[in-house]
Amino acid sequence: MIPQISLTVLVDNTTLTDRYFSGEPGLSFLIETDGKKILFDTGYSDLFLQNAQKMGINLLDLDMVVLSHGHLDHSGGLFPLIRHMTRSIIEGFPVKKPLLVAHPWCFYPRPKSPVPDTGTVLSEQELSRFFDVITTTIPRHLTTNLVFLGEIERAFKFEQVDPGTRKIIMPDGAAKEDRILDDSALAFRTSEGLVIITGCSHAGICNIVEQAKTVCGNSRVIDIIGGLHLLSPEPSRLKKTAEYLRDLQLKSLHACHCTSLSSKIVLAGYCPVQEVGTGMKLEW
């Protein structure tokens, strides 16, 4: 069977044995489908560029950059990418101007003491010089079968988390509690069912999957890859999440980035958890 989509892990917290790439506490995937190259998140630094170069992957011909949300471990690589593009233009290499797709709140400042800003740092206006920026709260098709899910409806109460001291600065200067409403994900329709690609799942992986099912009109999910933001979850939340994922009857669960080892161990008792690391390539 000819793959419909491929995903290469450019950055994850974890590296793989006998694969000599580097990791960092961040996430970046390269997605290729329907003749399009799509960078999903940029990690924390320029590491995704270094790893891509070692893998022989050109990131100057990207069609799109998609941000799962605005946190710096997913958007911090934007400036190194701009620098890479700029340097390449100066040296006469062909460089595409990609679309940049994100929730509009993705670019708002996020002070979290003592750090002045834990967000993208670069504003939407600044980024628009290098990308064709598209912000949306509603789902948007990126290709025929790949969908940006937009703002996720938060229906499961057990996935609702107290924002604590997190704040986000709105365009009028007002500081609001930050429930990370910009957190989104991708869904891809394969002939067998849906593949969910997520960054951190601050919206809750169960909420994300339900939105993907609704948007794509398909209740079958075969794989989930990305961070599940289960670092030190309440036991009741972890159990309910595990039961929900079990009932999906997944072919595989590629939990990574912000999913702790203890959470993976629990999840593995309910569904087929698989290893993830920088340099891994998946095809569906």
pLDDT, tens digit, 9 for 90 and up, residues 38-51: 999 999 999 999 99
Identify the DSSP state of 262: H
Helix (H, G, I), strand (E, B) or coil at 206: helix
pLDDT per position as a tens digit, 136-179: 999 999 999 999 999 999 999 999 988 988 999 999 999 999 99
pLDDT score of 1 more than 70: no
Q: What is the mean pLDDT of residues 42-66?
A: 98
The domain locations on the chain are 5-283
- Kindly report, residue by residue over 7-21, the tens digit of the pLDDT: 999 999 999 999 999
- Name the pTM for this structure: 0.97
Distance (Å) of CA 217 to CA 34, 145, 221, 226, 281: 20, 12, 11, 22, 27
DSSP assignment string, 35-70 = TEEEEE---SSSHHHHHHHHTT---SS-SEEE-S--
Query: CATH homologous superfamily of domain 5-283?
Result: Ribonuclease Z/Hydroxyacylglutathione hydrolase-like (3.60.15.10)
* CB 54, CB 22: distance < 8 Å: no
What are the beta bridge partners of residue 278?
15
Instruction: Specify whether the CB–CB gap between 278 and 10 falls below 8 A.
Output: yes
88-133 pLDDT, tens digit each: 999 999 999 999 999 999 999 999 989 999 999 999 999 999 999 9
